[in-house]
Chain A
């Protein structure tokens, strides 16, 4: 029997048609099934960690919504790197409250540990973390990863979250969450026709009711509104802000008065505090800050972030100055549609134009300088992923506050969250600022918190004496550390609370 394969036609091999058809079908099926893998192989960039499984540790802030958002989004990063780079990553998280986070991070970093590979740091700690070499300087990382060379929304973002020393080009952090002070007001109380009528009758002006109304409002004008809604017999008060001695709560609230009324905390170039902080104008600002206690509920001297959320969500106050970052906590289900988030009022110092300069909040990502090569690579990949436009948008949709110009300039950004318009407004240059990033930040803050708490609670009654005490103590701290060029004056020996 002649083997069909023996037949030759011309110069080619003759293959039976049935075999050819079977072979073609098999090839087509395998191509169809294998296409995703082939595509992935093509899509995957060659990466030194391909095929490996890495465990990463992030330290975040307990009970802080934006910090938890970053944590909740990490599975998206795991999917991203699996697809793009071919490695697996899993995350462990640890948390500590604001007041204890630096302690937790520092005690780990000082041992050169890799316990935390990425840290969500508060902006003021950049100096304290950078000076001893605990965190990675990012200038080279940004140069090698063009995706991290981002067009930020304003210079305020760079100054607050990225650079140390202040004004330098040294970059140590990248913004995880932008944050500004906003005024949360009860829109339903404002829209009540009876309330509007009563207010008009009492003050002969209309109750403000829109973003634009509040944008133009001064503290004097706002005081009428706060006074109008202060009704202790109804267990309602007009206003709340932070006065607590804990962490930086009183400082951030008082700085709003100090800066808006033209004051300064220090001279960053010379480290001079005495004579800069303890001016009569700043002392007057401290008195003004205390004066607003009369519109606040009882126990206001202990109001921090959590207490401020409580008094507002429980319907005790009409308006609260609060961080935009806690917007999701401020606008509960019961308060949906009843809250307006607007710029906080302008302050008017005697003889000056009304101005608003409020405290910056927010946190940068910082990378542990002691990460091994593997974890450092993952940390940098994480940053590249975090600042992708789609990730930033997803972060915003989940309630976070990104800082890049591209996301904030989207037409639909203002509509994503009720506070977004105010967030963008206050993030513009000149409206918000941060305080010192100096390594001695913690000591200086502690002195300041003690002083402000002492005054607002009545332990000390002389605002000028309190400011003198704080200025002298802080100046001494900076002089001892070598930051301040001149020693405090002899009159500092007489200061006390």
Chain B
């Protein structure tokens, strides 16, 4: 019987080369990434330098940076939208992280808690709902005439109708509350993952040494779990920055402009007004902001690591 090597096809021998194997495995993903991510992004970048509206019937007209200047100079425009968006992100992510961490600690030490699985299932249910569905039924829940919240308010506290989504002082917080309801379970998951990464030996050693809980939290738990928590905060920050499909069914950016976030304005310009040049420039600006936020997070993370390695 001839040796195995002599019977192998030339094609199979290609994969003996490690570099070839890696490239072959990566090729489908890279192709997909280039076709559906890189090329559209470059196209977007190019279009941002043109004045082009789909409904005008006119061909694209090169205008250089005019779209960018118009966006940045616009009163009632991007700066107000960004301030509202950053407020939304900051408040939302903070509340979700704190609540999520509390719930994470609650379930971490409760393996024997009766009904734990049911409680966890109910807890994670909002996360699997689509934002449009959540927005739609919360709109009904908040309704001042037919909504459950107002019904309970009337029944329990004899309160008058509260127009959560029509009152400019309440609408923003009403939408934020729904966002927190949806995504706190995500931060709970991240907290549980972070807590799961803490070596049991160190935890037990800290218990034996009777280290106070707060010191245990900072010296042991946070020391090991912070990377996962920071990753969770980063993911929520980026996702929260893009909030659109929750707002559309609830308020459509209203009342007035109180819930008009950057993604909503971009959607309106791109897919309602079909101002492709202007909206491409807007998207490029938002992309730069997202890259800046991500870079800041990674810098902070790597700074801590460098300090620890240096220490």
Residues of B within 8 A of A459 (CB): 168, 255-258
**A442-B57 in contact given A245-B255, A298-B144, A454-B255 (Cβ < 8 Å):** no
Task: Among A107, A299, A497, point to the contact of B166 (Cβ < 8 A).
Answer: A299
Whether, in the assembled complex, A201 has its beta carbon less than 8 Å from a beta carbon of chain B, the answer is: no
Given contacts A246-B252, A299-B145, A450-B253, contact A132 B56 (CB under 8 A): yes
| Known contacts A132-B54, A459-B168, A299 near B144 by CB under 8 Å | yes
- 17 CB contacts below 8 A, A to B, read A102-B272, A103-B271, A131-B56, A132-B57, A245-B254, A245-B255, A246-B252, A297-B144, A299-B143, A299-B161, A302-B165, A453-B254, A454-B255, A455-B256, A458-B167, A493-B75, A497-B256
Give the residue of A311, A442, A457 whose beta carbon is less than 8 angstroms from that of B256: A457
Q: How far does the alpha carbon of A458 sit from the alpha carbon of B170 in the complex, in Å?
A: 12
- Whether the Cβ atoms of A443 and B275 lie closer than 8 Å is yes
* Residues of chain B whose beta carbon lies under 8 Å from any beta carbon of chain A: 53-57, 75-76, 143-146, 150, 160-161, 163, 165-168, 251-258, 260, 268, 271-275
> In whole angstroms, how far apart are the Cα atoms of A184 and B243 in the complex?
39
Write the chain B residue with the least CB distance to A460.
B256
Interface residue? A52 (CB, 8 A): no
**B251 contacts across to A, CB distance below 8 A:** 245
Bound complex: CA A395 to CA B193 (Å): 62
Q: A102-B272, A457-B166, A493-B75 are in contact. Are A245 and B253 (CB under 8 A)?
A: yes
Q: Give the A-B contact count at a CB cut-off of 8 A.
A: 108
Q: For B271, list chain A residues within 8 Å (CB).
A: 103, 107
A439 CA / B273 CA spacing, docked (Å): 9
* Pick from B161, B167, B256, B274: contact of A454, CB under 8 Å: B256
Q: What would 20 more interface pairs be, CB under 8 Å, given A106-B274, A459-B256?
A: A107-B271, A131-B55, A131-B57, A132-B54, A298-B150, A298-B161, A299-B145, A299-B163, A311-B145, A446-B272, A451-B256, A453-B254, A453-B256, A454-B256, A455-B256, A458-B168, A459-B255, A459-B258, A469-B76, A481-B53
Distance (Å) between the CB of B65 and the closest chain A CB?
16
A301 beta carbon closer than 8 Å to chain B: yes
Is residue A133 contacting chain B, with contact meaning CB distance below 8 A? yes
Q: Which residues does chain A contribute within 8 Å of B257, judged by CB atoms?
A: 450, 454, 459, 497
A133 touches which of B57, B254, B274 (Cβ 8 Å): B57
Which residues in B have their C-beta under 8 angstroms from that of A456?
A: 255
- Bound CA–CA A103/B279 (angstroms): 15
Residue A378 CB within 8 A of the other chain: no
If A245-B253, A446-B273 touch, whether A301 touches B166 (CB-CB below 8 Å) is yes
CA distance A132 to B55 in the complex (A): 6
Q: For chain A, give the interface size range.
A: 35 or more
Q: Which 6 A-B pairs have the closest CB atoms?
A: A454-B256, A457-B255, A459-B256, A298-B161, A245-B254, A298-B144
B158 to chain A minimum Cβ distance, whole angstroms, is: 12
Whether A496 sits at the interface, judged by CB under 8 Å, is yes
By a CB distance below 8 angstroms, the chain B residues around A497 are: 76, 256-257
A458-470 vs B, CB cutoff 8 Å, 1 = contact: the mask equals 1110000000010
Write out the residue numbers on chain A whose beta carbons fall within 8 Å of the beta carbon of B166.
299-302, 457
User: Does residue A14 face the partner (Cβ distance < 8 Å to B)?
Assistant: no
A61 at the interface (CB under 8 A from B): no
A243 to chain B, nearest CB (A): 9
Q: Which residues of B contact A311 (CB under 8 A)?
A: 145
Q: B55, B57, B145: which contacts A298 (Cβ < 8 A)? A: B145
Residue of B nearest to A109 (CB): B54
How long is the Cα–Cα vector from A443 to B131 in the complex, in angstroms?
A: 26
Within 8 A of B (CB), among A447-497: 450-451, 453-460, 469, 481, 493, 495-497
Q: Give Cα A497 to B252, complex, Å.
A: 17
**Distance of A460 Cα from B254 Cα, bound (Å):** 12
A416, CB-defined interface residue at 8 Å: no
Q: What's the minimum C-beta distance from A96 to chain B, rounded to whole angstroms?
A: 12
A427-444: CB near B (< 8 Å → 1, else 0) gives 000000000000110110
A99 CB contacts on chain B under 8 angstroms: 252
User: Is A290 an interface position by the 8 A CB rule?
Assistant: no
Question: In the complex, what residue of chain A is closest to B258 when comparing beta carbons?
Answer: A459
Chain A's nearest CB lies how many Å from the CB of B155?
14
Q: Are B168 and A457 in contact (CB under 8 A)?
A: yes
Task: Tell me, yes or no, whether A347 is within 8 Å of chain B by CB.
Answer: no
Interface flag for A258 (CB, 8 Å)? no
- When distances are taken between beta carbons in the complex, the residues of chain B under 8 Å from A133 are 57
- Within the complex, the shortest CB–CB distance from A273 to chain B, in Å, comes to 17
Given the complex of chains A and B, what is the CA–CA distance between A300 and B57 in angstroms? 39
Min CB distance A324 to B, Å, is: 24
Contact A298 B163 (CB under 8 A): yes
A403 an interface residue at 8 Å Cβ cutoff?
Answer: no
Contacts of B272 in A (CB 8 A): 102-103, 442-443, 446
Cβ of A128 within 8 Å of any chain B Cβ, yes or no, is: yes
Contacts of A128 in B (CB 8 A): 55
- Taking the closest CB of chain A, its distance from the CB of B224, in whole angstroms, is 47
Within 8 Å CB of B255, what residues of A? 245, 301, 453-454, 456-457, 459
A346: CB under 8 A from chain B? no
Contacts of B274 in A (CB 8 A): 106, 110, 442
In the complex, the chain B residue whose C-beta lies closest to that of A129 is B55
Among the listed A129, A301, A451, A454, which residue makes an inter-chain contact with B163, where contact means beta carbons less than 8 Å apart?
A: A301
Interface centre among A302, A446, A460 (most CB of B within 10 A): A302
- Given A245-B252, A245-B254, also A106-B54 (CB < 8 A): yes
Give bound CA distance, A246 to B165, whole Å.
Answer: 13
Q: Give A39 to B288 CA distance when docked, in angstroms.
A: 73
Judge whether A316 is part of the interface by a CB distance below 8 angstroms: yes
Smallest CB gap from B164: residue in A = A299
Q: Are B254 and A457 in contact (CB under 8 A)?
A: yes
B56 contacts A481, CB within 8 Å? yes
Interface string of A295-317 (1 = CB under 8 A from B): 00111111000000011000010
Q: Please give the distance in Å from B244's CB to the nearest CB on chain A.
A: 14
Residues of A close to B145: CB separation below 8 A: 297-299, 311, 316
CA distance A272 to B144 in the complex (A): 40
Interface centre among A107, A298, A300, A451 (most CB of B within 10 A): A298
Nearest A-chain residue to B248, judged by Cβ: A99
Residues in A neighbouring B254, C-beta threshold 8 A: 245, 450, 453-454, 457
For residue A303, which residue of chain B has the nearest CB?
Answer: B166
Contacts of A453 in B (CB 8 A): 254-256
Chain B residues, Cβ within 8 Å of A299? 143-145, 161, 163, 165-166
Docked-complex contact B56 and A439, CB < 8 angstroms? yes
Q: Which residue of A has the minimal Cβ distance to B57?
A: A132
Contact A106 B55 (CB under 8 A): yes
User: How distant is B189 from chain A, measured CB to nearest CB, in Å?
Assistant: 33
Among B253, B255, B258, the one with the most A-chain Cβ atoms within 10 Å of its Cβ is: B255
CA distance A459 to B167 in the complex (A): 8
Report the Cα distance A443→B255, complex, angstroms: 18
